Amino acid sequence: MKMRPGTQTGFLLCGKEWIEGEALEVRSPWDQGLVGRVTVATRADARQAVSHAVASLRRTRALPRWKRREILEDVAAALIEQKERFAQLIVAEAGKPLRLARAEVDRTVLTFKTAAEEAARTGGESLPLDLTEGNEGRWGLVQRFAVGPVLTITPFNFPLNLVAHKAAPALAAGCPLILKPSPQTPFTALALGEVILKAGWPKEALAVLPLSNADTAWLAEKEDRIKLISFTGSSKVGWELKTHCGRKRVLLELGGNAALIVHNDWHDLDEAAIRTTHAAFGFAGQSCVSVQRVFVERSIFQTFLWKVVDHTAKLVAGNPSDESTEVGPLIRLGEAERVETWIKEAVESGAKLVAGGERRGSMITPAILTGTQPGMKVRNEELFGPVVAIEPYDDFEQAMADVNHSKYGLQAGLLTRDAGRILTAYRELEVGALVVGDTPSWRLDPMPYGGVKESGMGREGIRSAIEEMTEPRMLVMAGLS
C-alpha cells in the first residue's frame, strides 16, 4: 500500500484491500493539502470483520507464547526499519512536528517490545484446595484466556502509539482485533496493520476499518459478538458510548486538564519552566496530559511565570515538516477557532493574557494566562490547545484543592523535595497517577495508565491492558491421587 498525495486506498479486512465505495479525503492540518483518500467501510464490512474475528478466536488463543512474542518482536523490528516512513505519515495526517513524530515511533517500538516480553511471561497460578477436611488431593490452576474479539477506537493525536497500545496487548493476549482509527489519521493505522500481518498475525484476526462515527456506535451497540471495547478520546463521546454497550467490557481512556504544583523548595526553577513550556505547548497542547493548569507557591510565582514566558518565546512554531518546529497547527480550523474563543472569554471575565493567544488559520501562538478562575472554560474543560494558566497559591492544602477542583483526574505533577508533601499529595490528589519531579505530561509506555472521575475507567499500559483483555479461568482437580 503506497501512500502519496492523491492516492485512494482501501481498508484492511482479512488481509485484503478494497477501493470501491465512498472515499474520504484526508487533508493536512498544516496547509490543507491532500494526504490521500481512504475508502470508508460500511456496516456490512464491519459485520464481516466481526464474523472473521469470531471464527479466528480459537486460532489466536492457541498461538503459543513464543509465536506471539515473535510476531510482536517482528513488528518492533519493522517499525525501527521503517521509522522515517511512519514519522512522515504522522506529520502529514496529524500535523505533528517531525521531531515529535519520530519520538512517537520510538515509543511505539518500546510498546511492542514490552508486549513481546509480557506475552512470554504473563501466566497463572497453582492453588492448594485441600484446606478443609474432605478435600484431600484437590488442587487448582488459574490461567488467563483471551476475552474474545476486541473493538478498539483511537484518536488523531497519537495515530501510531495509541493504536499500538491497543493492538500490542491484544496480540499478546491472543485476541482478534478490529481497529477503528480516527478519520483524520487512517493511513498510519493501515500501515501498522500491514506490518502486523506481515509479521505473521492471522489475517482473519485483524481488521482496520475507517468507519463513520455513526457506524462505529452501531457496531459497539448492536454487535454482541464483540467482547471488549477499548476507546481513547473525548470524555463526552466515551461515556456516551459506554451507555450503549450492554454487557460488553469497556475500557475508557478519556480527557483531562492536567495540573502541576510547583512549591518553593524546588531546586531548579529554570529547568522546571523549560519542562512546563514543552509539556504545555508540544504538539500544540493536543494531549490529554498536556499541562493546562500550574499552581505556583507565591514567593516564587513571578520568577517562575516569567521564566515560562521567556522559554515560550524561544519555541519554534510553523510547518510541522521542518526539523526545528516544536509547535504546529491544531488538527482542524474549527478547533483553533474554539481555543481562540475560550481565551477571549477568559480575558473578558478578568483573566490576563501574559503572552501569545493569536490565531493565524489553524495556528495558535502559545498562550499564557493568569488570573483565571475555576468557572472559566480554560480551567474547567479540556483545552486540547496551546494554552496554560499559571496561578499563585499561599497554602499547599489549597493548591491540592485547586488541582482536585476538576471533573477530570488523569495525571498531576508535583515539584517539591518535601517527603511529607509528596505522600500527602499521593494520598489526597484524585488522579490516576502523580508524577513527582516532573510534569504530568510524562509517561513511560509500560506503566499502568488511566484516570478517575470523567477521565475514564480501566488501565492501559501493556500488562494492565493484557489483564483487561483476558479473563481468569479456574481448573479444579480432584480425585486423581
Q: Judge whether residue 21 has pLDDT over 80.
A: no
Alpha-carbon distances, residue 374 vs 342, 384, 408 (angstroms): 13, 17, 13
Query: Residue 23: which pLDDT band, with cuts at 50, 70 and 90?
Result: confident
Condensed to tens digits (0 to 9), the pLDDT of residues 37-46 reads 999 999 999 9
Percent of the chain with pLDDT over 90: 93
Once rounded to an integer, what is the mean pLDDT over residues 403-416?
98
Give the active site residues. 253, 288
Average pLDDT value for the chain: 95
Q: Judge whether residue 3 has pLDDT over 60.
A: no
Q: Return phi, psi of residue 353, to 5°.
A: -90, 105
Per-residue pLDDT, 437: 98
CB-hemisphere CA count at 13 Å for 431?
A: 30
Q: Which residues, at least 6 apart from 398, have a Cβ–Cβ distance to it below 8 Å?
A: none
Q: Which residue has the cell 524561544?
A: 314
Q: Return phi, psi of residue 28, to 5°.
A: -65, 130
Cα 273–278–283 angle (5° rounding)? 160
CA dihedral 241, 245, 250, 256 (to 10 degrees): 10
Ramachandran assignment for 25, one of left (phi > 0), alpha (psi -120 to 50 degrees), beta (any other): beta
Q: How far apart are CA 312 and CA 273, in angstroms?
A: 9
Per-residue pLDDT, 249: 95
Per-residue pLDDT, 8: 57
Per-residue pLDDT, 468: 95
Q: How far apart are CA 423 and CA 69, in angstroms?
A: 38
The CATH class of the 259-444 domain is alpha beta
Indicate the DSSP class of residue 392.
E
Per-residue pLDDT, 15: 72
Query: Residue 318: which pLDDT band, with cuts at 50, 70 and 90?
Result: very high
Q: Where are the domains of the chain?
A: 8-254+456-474, 259-444
Per-residue pLDDT, 481: 59
Condensed to tens digits (0 to 9), the pLDDT of residues 86-125 reads 999 999 999 999 999 999 999 999 999 999 999 998 888 9
Once rounded to an integer, what is the mean pLDDT over residues 345-373?
98
Q: How far apart are CA 418 and CA 401, in angstroms?
A: 18
Cell of 311: 522559554
Q: Counting beta carbons within 10 angstroms of the beta carbon of residue 470, is it exposed (0 to 12), middle (13 to 18) or buried (19 or more)?
A: buried
Q: Judge whether residue 17 has pLDDT over 80.
A: no
Alpha-carbon distances, residue 265 vs 107, 260, 268, 392, 477 (angstroms): 33, 15, 9, 15, 59
Q: Return phi, psi of residue 438, to 5°.
A: -155, 180
Q: Judge whether residue 64 has pLDDT over 90.
A: yes
Cell of 265: 523548595
Indicate the DSSP class of residue 115.
H
Q: Judge whether residue 5 has pLDDT over 60.
A: no
Once rounded to an integer, what is the mean pLDDT over residues 332-350?
98
Once rounded to an integer, what is the mean pLDDT over residues 279-301?
97
Once rounded to an integer, what is the mean pLDDT over residues 401-406?
98
For 250, the 3-state DSSP assignment is strand
Q: Does domain 8-254+456-474 have CATH number 3.40.50.720?
A: no
Condensed to tens digits (0 to 9), the pLDDT of residues 78-89 reads 999 999 999 999
Alpha-carbon distances, residue 165 vs 33, 160, 398 (angstroms): 29, 9, 36
In this predicted structure, which of 47-51, 123-127, 176-180, 298-302 has the lowest mean pLDDT? 123-127
**78 and 169 Cβ atoms separated by less than 8 Å:** no
Q: Which amino acid is at 312?
A: T
Percent of the chain with pLDDT over 70: 97
Q: Which residue has the cell 526545528?
A: 324
Per-residue pLDDT, 2: 43
Once rounded to an integer, what is the mean pLDDT over residues 316-339?
97
Taking the whole predicted model, whether its pTM rises above 0.85 is answered as: yes
Q: Which residue has the cell 483483555?
A: 469
DSSP string, 298-331: HHHHHHHHHHHHHHHHT--BS-TTSTT--B---S
In this predicted structure, which of 1-10, 169-178, 323-332 has the lowest mean pLDDT? 1-10
Q: Return phi, psi of residue 214, to 5°.
A: -65, -40
Per-residue pLDDT, 1: 40
